Amino acid sequence: MANSSEPSSSLSFTSSSHVSNGSISHNFSSFGSESVPSLEVISLSKLSSNLEQLLVDSGCDYSDADIIVEGISVGVHRCILASRSSFFCDLFKQKKGSSGKESRPKYCMSDLLPYGDVGYEAFLVFLSYVYTGKLKPSPMEVSTCVHNVCAHDACRPAINFVVELMYASSIFQMPDLVSIFQRRLLNFVGKALADDVIPILVVAFHCQLSQLIAQCIERVARSDIDSISLEKGLPDEVIEKIKILRRNSQQDSDPNMPAVDPLHEKRIRRIHKALDSDDVELVKLLLKESAITLDEANALHYAAAYCDPKVVTEVLGLGLADVNLRNSRGYTVLHIAVMRKEPSIIVLLLTKGARASELTSDGQSAVSICRRLTRPKDYHSKTEQGQEANKDRICIDVLEREMRRNPMAGVTSISSQIMPDDLHMKLLNLENRGNISKTFPID
């Protein structure tokens, strides 16, 4: 991030003995009573500025290859990348890339990554460092959220952007950058919500960052994140370590605490597996056989988080689930749904009486959760005719619309009085046009 402890003017490419961890110390020579920069520092600074022109000046495009990132072609100079990164050195030796205009080789970013994602803006920051040795500030539109009171020091977009930079630094073999971004991610671990530590733990595992892995595992083990969420988001090896820590902690705190009923847990997991298979009829059968209710299994929470929207519709259609039920973490089904940012599920829950004003144990409403997960780039993205609608904007606008309708919701949500078919038709029209203001006018 821009407020990192690493100076933005740090230089990494040099043979000087003063270089450490990707930065060059400010080396000064005495000249009379004043100190002046050494010739080496001046030369490196000038070299950095000159190389930067290759990236920022469209009039001097001498690039000889393209890397396609999120559908955007980024011109690169293979000689520079190969000299700075052994990954690219090996890549350019082995693979010529697909030929484009004037036989320029093209490389697709997704083909270069064995795991993880690196977006366009993150790649530009990485590329700038490769060329100049300077770490640019993170672009606000992709490293902050649209929550109006967020400090952006540990929200999900801020974390995700550094995670992308870590993937690029590790996969493309830039150890100095790996060191920088590991420190930033370590700083996030203590500040972030427990759920937001999960992507940090995943990148730490893939990049084999032992210190970061240890701190993340400890933080997650102390949290109330349920085992199902862990299994959906983490490698088995990491999950086992978290479970061991939790068992040891539980025994230390209360050795007489009753153990979880394995049969009860097994029956709940069968219901979840049936939902994964889109088999609501099997769910009904399992409910009868096991004498477990949908609410005991948090089946609606599970469906809203992981299943196809039609499954959510069918589960609600059974009429056996409380749409405002809180799970063990204090989250309602709507809180879970907004984390997924699927407009059709959010609208469906609202039509069935979900209360948008319900708060989590830490005081977050559904719309504040959604805003904290959304980048300005995605929120303000314009949708062209025939393109997929801006789901990030739709989710926030629908929830804010509901809050304006009913800021002090009682037992029944006002939007539950709207005909479900009518609201679903509005959503369909909205997604087809990609224009929230026409369907949900601002009051």
Which of the pair, 51 or 237, is modelled with greater confidence?
237
pLDDT digits over 102-114, tens only? 678 999 999 999 9
* Average of per-residue pLDDT values in the chain: 84
Backbone angles phi, psi at 42, to 5 degrees: -60, -45
- The band of 20, judged by pLDDT with boundaries at 50, 70 and 90, is very low
DSSP 8-state class, residue 101? G
Q: What pLDDT sits at residue 406?
A: 75
Backbone angles phi, psi at 201, to 5 degrees: -65, -35
Q: Give, for 98, the enclosing helix (H) or strand (E).
A: strand 98-99
Judged on CB neighbours under 10 Å (0-12, 13-18, 19+), 194 is middle
DSSP 8-state class, residue 388? P
Q: From 371, 339, 304, 330, select the one nearest 225 (Cα to Cα).
A: 330
Asked if 177 and 85 count as a contact pair (C-beta separation under 8 A), the reply is no
Computed from CA positions of residues 285, 289, 290, 293, in that sequence, does the dihedral angle turn out positive or negative? positive
Q: How far apart are CA 107 and CA 73, in angstroms?
A: 9
Residues 6+ apart with CB under 8 A from 402: 350, 356, 413, 414, 415
Q: From 320, 322, 300, 319, select the one nearest 311 (Cα to Cα).
A: 300
Q: Is 355 helix (H, G, I), strand (E, B) or coil?
A: coil
pLDDT digits over 180-196, tens only? 999 999 999 999 999 99
**C-alpha distances out from residue 308 to 166, 342, 345, Å:** 32, 10, 9
Residue 413 has pLDDT above 80, yes or no: no
Show the tokens assigned to 125. Answer: 């920051």
Q: How far apart are CA 349 and CA 172, in angstroms?
A: 44
Residue 431 has pLDDT above 90, yes or no: no
Q: What pLDDT sits at residue 425?
A: 46
Sheet holding 65-69, edge to edge: 72-76, 65-69, 105-108, 98-99
Show the tokens assigned to 75. Answer: 């011109």
pLDDT digits over 299-345, tens only? 999 999 999 999 999 999 999 999 999 999 999 999 999 999 999 99
Q: What pLDDT sits at residue 102?
A: 60
Show the tokens assigned to 39. Answer: 């010739």
Q: Is 325 helix (H, G, I), strand (E, B) or coil?
A: coil
Q: How far apart are CA 237 and CA 235, in angstroms?
A: 6
- The band of 432, judged by pLDDT with boundaries at 50, 70 and 90, is very low
Q: What pLDDT sits at residue 104?
A: 86
Percent above pLDDT 90 for the chain: 67
- The band of 94, judged by pLDDT with boundaries at 50, 70 and 90, is confident
- The band of 394, judged by pLDDT with boundaries at 50, 70 and 90, is very high
- The band of 21, judged by pLDDT with boundaries at 50, 70 and 90, is very low
Residue the block writes with tokens 């002090």: 408
Residue the block writes with tokens 């619309």: 401
Buried-state track 245-258, b at ≥16 Cβ within 10 A, e below 16:
ebeeeeeeeeeeee
Asked if 197 and 189 count as a contact pair (C-beta separation under 8 A), the reply is yes
Q: From 65, 156, 79, select the one nearest 112 (Cα to Cα).
A: 65
Q: How far apart are CA 303 and CA 310, in angstroms?
A: 10
Q: What is the mean pLDDT of residues 39-65?
A: 81
Q: What is the mean pLDDT of residues 149-158?
A: 95
Q: What pLDDT sits at residue 430?
A: 52
Percent above pLDDT 70 for the chain: 78
Q: How far apart are CA 101 and CA 73, in angstroms?
A: 12
